[in-house]
Amino acid sequence: MRKLNIAIIGLGNIGSYLYKYLNDNKKILTEKNNCSPVVKYVSARNKKRKRNIKIKKNQWLKNYLAATTIKEVDLIVELIGGAEGPAKKLVFTALKNKKHVVTANKALIAKYGDQLSKIAEKNKVNLEFEASVCGGVPIIRTLKESLIANKISKIYGIFNGTSNYILSTMDKQKKNFKDVLDNAKKLGYAESNPSSDLNGDDVSSKLKILSSLCFNSFLNNNIYVEGIKEIERTDIDNANRLGYKIKLLGFAEQINNKIYQRVHPTLIEKDSYVASIDGVLNAVIIDGKPVGHSTIQGEGAGPAATTSALVSDISSILRGNIKFPFSLSSRERKNLRFENISERFFSAYLRFEVIDKSGILSNITNIFSKNKVSIKRLVQTPDKSKKSSSIIIITHKAKDKFLKKTLMEVAKKKYIKGKPKLIRIDDN
């Protein structure tokens, strides 16, 4: 029976879970893949950390990079994290030394995926990263294999469980952002420093990878990114009254041979499928031909979901499948034209808190008209106790640059209280 010797580098929650899973399920994995996975070595920054696994003395590597030079190591699982430092050094060195690599590191793939892919191709080894995007949702392999016959025009969805949990909990439990975030940290749904989740960077990295696979292109950094930090309970309540839910969505779409990548909070209709995806779940929606409209949903993070994706990649290598990391060779991938969204047309929700004074509404609507932004719906709610008024405007479709210009011009007026809000509406 053939065997594949594995080194797991990084033994946090996911690394420890994977170690135990591979050992506990060695027999069935061997039967299914006709090759035996053997965890030969492990390494981590802190050897003394308490872990719910039993590591043999001869398995521990003091120097994590040693795994890249040990002849009997066939595959390295990188679970260090981060686009730079040890993770970068490990993966680059491993591929150069003709070791297969499996990783859950979205930041690394999003930044260096093109370079790493070329090295893997040159050395005829695998670079697999199913676990880097949406955890237990098998979207990478779906795009590389199951939908290989399709011309994909659009991919979008909920790619971050932390932000989705926060927004859906704010809605259901009528709590403010800070309280929900604090509870998410206690439950383990958010890191102690969740900035990457909240500012949209996490989704941005995932979207770049998905976009490259969908459109057979090299990774591209031309992407509009906006997070959820500015979303208030008021906006969620307003959205409900207007027939919408607020979700942090990522979009990559091809329109007239141009690619648009964007990440931002989005108002979506209450009765839509995506609106029903709550908690830490992820959902990916694909539009293509001939497949039409396809949806995959599941847990986007956590040790179990991530391990499921990692084992899928390991199993592919166990079977002896040597594939191009991004489905096509680097020679066949394209340098497509990626555009910013300033010329795209969107409907939008805008909210202004203003001093309760005559003539203000007229002034605001004049600014809208001057900037070629047509008003579809307007709701004004006075608050006599605060001597202020809330003005909510839903627009017809307008160029994004005109929507932003309108917002900035109104924001400068002395009658404005607080920071005005603009949230795009998905009405495609």
What CATH number is given to the structural domain containing 14? 3.40.50.720
Quick one: average pLDDT of 362-386?
90
Residues 286 and 357 in one domain: no
Q: Is the pLDDT of residue 64 over 90?
A: yes
Query: Which domain range does residue 32 map to?
Result: 3-138+307-318
Q: Report CA torsion sign: 72, 77, 82, 88.
A: positive
pLDDT for 347 equals: 97
Residues 6+ apart with CB under 8 A from 356: 382, 383, 384, 387, 388, 389
The answer to whether residue 205 is domain-embedded is: yes
Tell me how far apart the alpha carbons of residues 350 and 386 are, in angstroms, rounded to a whole number: 21
The answer to whether residue 17 is domain-embedded is: yes
Residues 133 and 158 in one domain: no
Residues 190 and 254 in one domain: yes
The answer to whether residue 328 is domain-embedded is: no
pLDDT for 428 equals: 67
pLDDT for 136 equals: 81
The answer to whether residue 325 is domain-embedded is: no
pLDDT for 371 equals: 95
Count of domains in the chain?
3
User: Residue 274 is encoded by which pair of tokens?
Assistant: 């995506």
**313-371: per-residue pLDDT in tens?**
999 999 888 889 998 999 999 888 899 999 999 999 999 999 988 889 999 999 999 99
pLDDT for 40 equals: 94
Residues 400 and 291 in one domain: no
Residues 203 and 234 in one domain: yes
Residues 130 and 143 in one domain: no
When the pLDDT of each residue in the chain is averaged and rounded to a whole number, the result is 92
Query: Which is more confidently placed, 135 or 171?
Result: 171
CATH number at residue 421: 3.30.70.260
Residues 134 and 158 in one domain: no
* Residue 79, CA distances (Å) to 24, 76, 187, 273, 286 in order: 20, 10, 22, 33, 28
Query: Which is more confidently placed, 188 or 332?
Result: 332
Catalytic residues: 206
Quick one: average pLDDT of 369-392?
89
**293-311: per-residue pLDDT in tens?**
899 998 877 888 899 999 9
**23-50: per-residue pLDDT in tens?**
999 999 998 998 999 999 999 988 878 8
The answer to whether residue 329 is domain-embedded is: no
Query: What percentage of the chain exceeds 70 in pLDDT?
Result: 99
pLDDT for 378 equals: 94
pLDDT for 185 equals: 87
List b or e across 13-42, with b for residues whose CB sees 16 or more CB atoms inside 10 angstroms.
ebbbbbbbbbeeeeeebbeebebbbbbbbb
pLDDT for 71 equals: 94
CATH number at residue 210: 3.30.360.10
pLDDT for 235 equals: 95
pLDDT for 372 equals: 94
Asked if the peptide bond before residue 86 counts as cis, ω within 30 degrees of 0, the response is no
Residues 207 and 280 in one domain: yes
Residues 162 and 215 in one domain: yes
Residues 122 and 163 in one domain: no
Residues 174 and 246 in one domain: yes
Residue type, 273: Y
pLDDT for 299 equals: 84
Q: Considering the entire predicted model, what is its pTM?
A: 0.92
pLDDT for 226 equals: 96
The answer to whether residue 161 is domain-embedded is: yes
The answer to whether residue 72 is domain-embedded is: yes
Residues 131 and 199 in one domain: no
Tell me how far apart the alpha carbons of residues 77 and 317 are, in angstroms, rounded to a whole number: 12
List b or e across 137-168, with b for residues whose CB sees 16 or more CB atoms inside 10 angstroms.
bbbbbbbbeebeebebebbbbbbbbbbbbbbb
The answer to whether residue 396 is domain-embedded is: yes
**196-238: per-residue pLDDT in tens?**
999 999 999 999 999 999 999 999 999 999 999 999 999 999 9
User: Residue 353 is encoded by which pair of tokens?
Assistant: 């808190």
Q: Is the pLDDT of residue 246 over 80?
A: yes
Residues 6+ apart with CB under 8 A from 250: 156, 157, 159, 203, 204, 206, 207, 210, 261, 262, 263
